[in-house]
Amino acid sequence: MCLVAGVVLCAASAAWAQAPVPDSQQIEAKAQAMLSKLTLQEKIKLLGGVDGMYTQAMPSIDLPRFKMSDASVGVRTWGPTTAYAGGVALAATWDRAFARALGEALGRDARARGVNFLLGPGVNIARSPVSGRNFEYLSEDPYLNGQLVVPYIEGVQSQGVIATVKHYAMNNSEFDRHNIDAIADERTMREIYLPSFEAAVKQGHVDAVMDSYNLVNGEHATQNQFLNVKVLKGEWDFKGILMSDWVATYDGVAAANNGLDLEMPDAAFMNEKTLLAAVKDGQVKESTIDDKVLRLLRTELRYGFTDRPQLDVADATYSVKDRAVALQGALESITLLKNQDHLLPLDAAKIKTIAVIGPNAWPAVTGGGGSSHATAFAPISMVTGIGNVLGPDVSVLYSGGLPSPEEIFLDTHWAGSIQVQQYENAKFTGTPSTGTERRLAEWHYVEFQRAGPARSVRYTAGFKADKAGKYLLLAAANGGDTYRIQVDGKEVLNQARGEGESPKSAELDLSAGQTAHIVAEYVPNAAGLGFGMGVAYEPEMISADAKEFAAKADAVVVAVGFAPSTEQEGSDRTFDLPWGQDALVEAMAAANPHTIVVLNGGGGMNVMRWLDKVPALVDAWYPGQEGGTAVADVLFGKHDPEGRLPVSWDRAWTDNPSAKWYYGDPAKKKPMQTTWETGKLHTVEILPAVYGDKLMVGYRYWTTVGKQPLFAFGYGLSYTTFKFSNLHVPGAAKSGSTVTVNFDVTNTGNVKGAEVAQLYVSDPSAKVSRPERELKGFEKVRLDPGQTKHVALELDARAFSYWDESAHNWKIDPGKFVIRVGGSSEDTPLVANLTLQ
């Protein structure tokens, strides 16, 4: 018996030892002792990574190197893994408990691979739906982000793995990300863009922070004194490690003096050559170097990395246990946006044949592209998931529905030969070499290539329409390449220089016999050419089998939206759906009235062309490896759709409050000299992007101007109904005190379901302009039919505060506040006034 107890106690002790311990005199003494044994050269060496994903080892103090992994939705870097519904899908769950479970699962996956640093979560605000990395982040609201990131971090770090919150800060776009200067006033930063990081540091006690690529108010984040020294390490008292994003350091001395502790993936700037000389001539203090090394040592000691192996074979590399976590996240995040005439849930008993059509139907789309993309062992596609639910007696018909870009490029019949002019520079000047081509099909997806010799190519072609109607002009080039295309003298497409690009399309309305004159000017970045262009007649672009299957099926599921090749790190995506998908949805809806559209993507997208033609619309976000199962369970009523929108959906990109400001003003570009990337001094152009939308992000804008988006923040349909009642708010309270808001939520339908009760605060008597309402509380409530649950939400002083720019602090203006409770930012049936005295 004692032996058994001893084993149990030892196991519990070992599990507890995984979590970081608080700072102590013993840890400080050991870190100082290790520091004292290092030469200045050795200290500097520790400030840069090695071999892509490791910190430096230091044999003189018995310090091994420590392992990192990309993250957010899975432990990506070291082979196949469990791929979860993370990022924006996590935000769509509105579930703190799931965030904790997700963090713990990621921590276990990291330990199973010997990973010390998990490079996630990302918490940047979804300011615009076109930002290419929104899917990795969370929501448009800083409070929701903060409430989810804290348990996520606590979960990861409870497993003995350092979480890394990123990308600090203002990384709200991906295009030209090294040269974008995000310009925002302090109040906008404090109220919208910094609170998620603040919560991660002050509440979640995250032990690593990653600086972003972009500039903020004129300085790159990795050398930004305001962000790193004043706010992060000063006001927030961050004690951990501040690292750069990969190849995001631009000046070694400036980075060293302005807070950066660790340059990744190697010491391109914070190296011995730069910093040894800087210390000797007084540009950098040795105490500054010491502080960075001590941060590394203290953190690693607190986790016991030097006392135990990080690889824990008790955690499975292929984890059946964590498949359940992945499925839970997918189920909780799926958001029902339209359900006309209660088409959903489908009655499986009445389905004999179902068509699953679209580019995202198979293979499984688990996540977006770039460094967060996790390769799952056995991801479940929508085709597979639906087939598994329906069983062997139902016919599941699958078609991708659309040709590949290469097929369109090769099948285009141009009116005569394509005239080619090639210049030995990037400016289309001088005397070109000339030639002809029959097809433009040199494109094969390449994310980015090293720069080759300067060249530019002009293609001139004609396309004659055989029939009247809509035609699709499709073009593609490799990452790093640029092009612009004119049709009859009008520019219709362009690609700026980016790290990863997907095909772009434009719609042409042509009459029978009309010839469109097309000029494409292409500037390759690499040595080889990688450009493709073609034209297709939209009605004939949809595959014949997709049309036939849709016509014969009892119901059609159309799986469209974005994927790793069309929404990814390094470039922004379009607001419109990827090429051809609108036409595919229209064709399926025309063939079958029981058409359900299931979307993948990191935020809002343009569905206006066909929304009124389909009875049901489902947003599956990026649901991870179990997405196909989760979608099928929701479509057939095995699980109530309980996701709620973490972002507002605009009808058009131009409706978004950031649209006017998002791409900056190219006329105001400023030259800056740097040795970044090339190692040689050269000039780059910095693009100022003013955040002129200020606090008016997402629902803050819509509720303030009194208009409604297509779908509101917090919105989501259910197979049941809910009622809010019995709101109780104290009539008055002392300014700065905690206020408790009480109310009831009742499931008034016939199905078990979950509602997200949301609390918004308005400050109509404020002395400054404030958004009409702001989210300050929420709770996910699970209810059986007829069940009522009492909810109590507490509002602290911060819930009523705004940032006073003159005082540089948070401030409450005493007076009237309005408390609103309901199921979305636009649906708040319970309203009460509160006076803060």
Q: Reduced to 3 DSSP states, what percent helix, strand and coil does the chain have, rounded to the nearest 5?
A: 30, 25, 45
Burial of residue 792 (CB within 10 Å: 0-12, 13-18, 19+) is: exposed
Residue 192 CB neighbours (<10 A): 27
What 8-state DSSP symbol labels residue 363?
S
Can you say how many angstroms the Cα of residue 823 is from the centroid of all Cα atoms in its chain? 24
The verdict on whether 245 is a catalytic residue reads yes
Q: Are 277 and 64 in contact (CB under 8 A)?
A: no
Catalytic annotation, pick one of 70, 95, 211, 245: 245
The tokens describing 720, both together, are 């049941």
Beta strands 682-690 and 180-183 are parallel
For residue 154, give the DSSP letter.
H
DSSP string, 540-596: HHS-HHHHHHHHHSSEEEEEEE--TTTSBTTS---SBPSTTHHHHHHHHHHH-SSEE
Q: Are 434 and 460 in contact (CB under 8 A)?
A: no
The CB-side HSE value for 415 (13 A sphere, CA atoms) comes to 13
Q: Taking the mean position of all CA atoms in its chain, how far away is CA 391? A: 35
160: left (phi over 0), alpha (psi -120 to 50) or beta: left
Distances (CA, A) of 194 to 124, 137, 226, 245: 9, 14, 12, 18
Torsion sign, CA atoms 831, 822, 602, 652? negative
Tokens of 431: 């005397």
Alpha helices in 203-305, H assignment, sequence order: 225, 252-257, 272-280, 286-302
Helix (H) or strand (E) holding 146: helix 142-158
SS (H, E, C) 474-517: EEEECCCCEEEEEECCEEEEEECCCCCCCCEEEEEEECCCCEEE
Task: Phi first, then psi: give them for residue 561, nearest 5 degrees.
Answer: 120, -150
Q: Using CA atoms, how far apart are residues 627 and 559, in angstroms rounded to an integer? A: 12
So which residues are the catalytic ones?
245
